[in-house]
Structure 1
């Protein structure tokens, strides 16, 4: 497939599916107040992280699972599961049941964020792979921006349940299109390996885990900043604009990565963002905040583009995407509660952001340097991982 031409229409369909995966987080993050009204005695922010739990526990295995059942089957099963759970969330239920649906929703989300980019990069010719992964990296920002635009009207019309039912209906409508058109990529058949061997194989090779480490540090920023930074800057309208600034950087990263190695671009994005957050804290400037989100977007896209840069065959890319999912979900899970401790304080939010960005520049930088010097995973013996 990749030897001839890039299949842009199919890549666009897969990216659109990714927007609905992003909406699994956005639909709750952007309606926290309304959901808190439904469950006044519950710790609703924890439900934002509910989807992350499965990714934390099973992210590393997800790449192998996708290899076993095939990318096509993984996408189709994930869409069915996600649609069903979102429709169920449209009914009245206790918070415990709602939380359970959020955790179960994590299975569908995990399969999507591993299988979709694996198929997208397989459908791209080599010169377009970094661009395709830069495009994929925008799925979270675009998904958030769309939900931010749509949610107020839907909430005014039918409440929180209407938003969740709408999400489920769009997923259900997408299923027959995907079933009809998706090709077989990495058709599956491998046996599932030992759990400990999986983690050992992934986290002993920086070519697998370096992009995920950068991604996990980044995800601890993004959702929390969208949720808390607008109020700290006294600019509630930023809720819809911050994701756009972020995704602009992510989209640009795919093209920049044609000239600068994605593994280096990720580190540079962290470093620039750290400086911009310092300036934001001192000036309170909305424009600087948007520039900081653009810089973190460069990092986000670069981490995705680093997967095919460091891993050249679909199975290795699926394993690296599994690490991306696991570490990304750890970041998503931890970021919102940490930022909630300093919500309302611009200096507090900026301070946490600076620490995270410096951490990313240092530790992701070290991991990427090791990855560039490491043996390609495909050349390794794989008897211990199946």
Structure 2
């Protein structure tokens, strides 16, 4: 049913829940030095990538699960699971047990990042859907930024366990609010398809997978560039400035997509960012780097906004969000190792970023053209 108004308070609540989902990554990366000392000799970085691995394996399935059980039920169960696991992580345990909690936490994270935007877009009237998805696109960076301020003093006060317990308590606190506030959004009784036909159904349907293609290519740039550019440009203040600039581009994309199709904004963002990365290599200017990150942020938000552009049905949006989660985690997983190969050189970093932007413009442009044709055929 098409809404005549946008439920902004409830959308804000869902977005805030998304910040707690982002914290499932941020709390570990911000305490990784302490964990390396606590679990000396153990492959602690795997505890970060464990959540991404779950997303790669189960991203497509998550969209169907949201459609099968309903976004409301999935959000509530995922928040409950995440709260319990985070509280457990605050207890002393061996590394293997800690890894088990991280893998299980990956399922909660995956279901949240599919169900939350699916519910948010349902609560928005048509003209506000791009803005709402642009807002959702900021959840990861904002979550990191907030935890970057909170984690150091909390860890200094109560140790690493206090960080995880605090995260669990915040999730537990938001749960009753969600129970009271969330409406029922789609719940079908259709059985889940088998894994191979399920993936075939998504990745043979351009209107489902096109936003995910753009998102996966974007995620392969963001974390890696933020990690390596400040040192390459000898401007460590960029550690804070780059994510904030990227977030501003993501938020602005929602307003731009009200006037220009989000799919076109995504491709344009890749093209402009590629040109700016080339200019950055020539000038070695931090300000040009900031401009490039603004336009990658514009692309990020546009990819999220493209989900409702091509998919009007909530179940279709859930499937597309599942593909976004799956391919996005592939980009996150692959991006940093790729950039690490050229991290010692500004020209190397710029060259890698340009190559990925060209890939985004070409592959994203192809996928979105196919999605437009598919959407027309589906509407007919």
Into which bin does the TM-score normalised by the smaller protein fall? over 0.9
Q: Name the structure 1 match of 2:337.
A: 337
Query: RMSD between aligned alpha carbons?
Result: 1.9
For structure 1, list consecutive stretches of 5 or more residues without a partner in the other structure.
381-386
Q: Which moved more, 1:95-104 or 1:119-128?
A: 95-104
After the TM superposition, which residues 328-367 of structure 1 pair with which residues of structure 2 at under 5 Å, given as runs? Answer: 328-367=328-367
Q: What residue number does 1:312 align with?
A: 312
Alpha carbons of 1:212 and 1:159: their partners in 2 closer, same or farther (altered >3 Å)?
same
Are residues 1:43 and 2:43 paired?
yes
Alignment check: 8 A CA contact 1:3 1:125 kept: yes
Larger mean Cα displacement after TM superposition, 132-141 or 271-280: 271-280
Matches within 5 A, 1:80-119: 80-119=80-119
Q: How many residues align?
A: 380
Q: State the 1:139 CA deviation.
A: 0.8
CA distance in 2, matches of 1:31, 1:185: 36
**1:310·1:376 contact (CA, 8 Å) conserved in 2?**
no
The verdict on how the C-alpha distance between 1:18 and 1:96 changes in structure 2, with shifts beyond 3 A counting, is same
Q: Given the alignment of the two structures, is residue 4 of structure 1 paired with residue 37 of structure 2, yes or no?
A: no
Look up the SS of the partner of 2:159 in the other structure.
helix
Residue 234 in 1 paired to residue 237 in 2?
no
Work out whether residues 221 and 353 of structure 2, in 8 Å CA contact, stay in contact via their aligned partners in 1: yes
Instruction: Single out whichever of 119-128 and 230-239 deviates more from structure 2.
Output: 230-239
Moved more, 237-246 or 63-72: 237-246
Aligned: 1:267 with 2:267: yes
Q: Please report the TM-score for the alignment, with normalisation by the length of structure 2.
A: 0.94
Corresponding position of 1:126:
126
Distance 1:350 1:45, change over 3 A: farther
Secondary structure of 1:374 counterpart? helix
Structure 1 position 22, deviation (Å): 1.2
Q: Write the distance in 1 (CA, Å) between the matches of 2:162 and 2:277.
A: 37
Cα 1:175/1:18, change in 2 over 3 Å: same
Consecutive unaligned residues of structure 2, counting only runs of 5 or more, are none
Cα pair 2:311 2:375 within 8 Å, conserved: no
What CA distance in whole angstroms lies between the structure 1 residues aligned with 2:304 and 2:265?
11
Residue 345 of structure 1 deviates from its aligned partner by: 4.0
Q: TM-score, normalised by structure 1?
A: 0.93
> 1:177 and 2:174 equivalent?
no
| TM-superposition CA deviations, 1:325-383 (whole Å, max 9, x none) | 11111111222333334445433333322222111111111111111122458559xxx
SS in 1 for 2:16: helix
The Cα shift of 1:23 comes to: 1.4
